[in-house]
Structure 1
Amino acid sequence: MELFQTYSKEIISLIIPFLTWILNSFFKAKVNLQLSSPHTFTFLIPEPLYDQTGNQIKNAQTVETRSHFLINAGRETATKVELVFNWKPPFINIWPSRHFTEFTESDSRYIMIFESLAPNEHLQCELFSINLELPDLITVRSDQCIAKFVEVVPQEVFPPWQIVVARILLFLGSVFSIYLLILILQFLVLKTPFWYFK
């Protein structure tokens, strides 16, 4: 305690640059691409598959579907957003409908490039195939960062009033934490008690 009182200015001057670095690193506006796959399903269709001559190839057919959800959760616009697939999917749908350029590399990798993705803007990429395997999404990147994969699960939708109450409680809790930190610093530096009893 005495050490802190004697060198309080020096200790605080060391803490301030560290706090500044934390604020600049973690709270700075930046691009934050998040990718998830909320849906993958294989439908088994009990219909035989025939070739052009009428010979039965398979007893049943399959339909595969897969969904990829990409969002820019950051506060800066992502530019040149690339989705790279192992090969070109037989059927693909982008929602909301957006213009993109596409390339097929010499090794058959299929690349879709979107010019930009604004903050909180999202893309949904739906894949569909009949009796064929769907390609894996190898990577998603932009000029600013690489997308981070996020696991998603179905979740209950809460009423708006419960969300408002939770936000108010979180705000009050953060205010109380800051106030408690100030009281602790005041006690350590000035030796004033947390409260006075009269």
Structure 2
Amino acid sequence: MDLAIFPPEITQIILEYLPIKDLVRAERTSKLLQLFCLSEIERRIKTGALKDEFGLLIHIGQTTAQPQQFDPITKTVQYIIPMDPITINTMYDHRRHIQCSLLRKQLIGNKYLSQHGFTIPVEKGMVEGKTIPFAIQDKHYQLDGSLTRMEPVTNKSSKKLSLAPTPLSYSLQVTGMRLPLSTIAA
């Protein structure tokens, strides 16, 4: 079927009924259809059709990602991550990895299922009070955030001698995420 025989208004109406997965597939088929599909994807993002579709599991906290903007040139969707910083405590200053996962809502049961696991590295010897931005990139996602080593909290009213060292605390904040259309359509 040649879409050139349909007026643009009818093509737009037809594309409104396609699921996002089929829109992404149709976008790759022809240049003629590409503009229609990309504008329909952008319209759905602006109207909130992808709201609560993706989330993140970071350490022991879970948050949902909110779509913000679609870039038709790079074919990625920009998400913001509204989350409070997560505090991570450790007893020793050593390199460690914080386990995380990209989550996707399952249509049946409205539960989130893990799609892609990744780790955020914490390097040994981080200076107290220093914030280090990070960007983790894979073919399925790109994450931006920051990691801060917090000052130790000391209780001056307690005069007991502690045998254990004061735990080291880190604050982890993920601020943004970009997903390509291939991840959204998977």
* Structure 1 length-normalised TM: 0.24
Over alpha carbons, which structure has the higher Rg?
A: 1
Task: Return the structure number with greater strand share.
Answer: 2
Task: Return the structure number with greater helix share.
Answer: 1
* Structure 2 length-normalised TM: 0.26
